Amino acid sequence: MSQEYQRLRDEHARYAAQLEQLASKSYLSEHDKLEEIRLKKLKLRVKDQMEMLVHRARIA
């Protein structure tokens, strides 16, 4: 596994953990809601980057 993939995997896990923390709250403030949206977008972007690396490795 490449270092880049490992870095992305760690970043993805970090975003997932932050989202879990937000999900555990009984009430989300407006700031929390915006943070949740931001984290979901970042997590998805990282997942896309991970998938791109896997795809490139398969065709190489």
Mean pLDDT in the chain?
A: 96
Binned at pLDDT 50, 70 and 90, residue 60 comes out as confident
User: Does the global pTM surpass 0.75?
Assistant: yes
Distance (Å, whole) CA 22 – CA 16: 10
Whether 17 shows a pLDDT value over 80: the answer reads yes
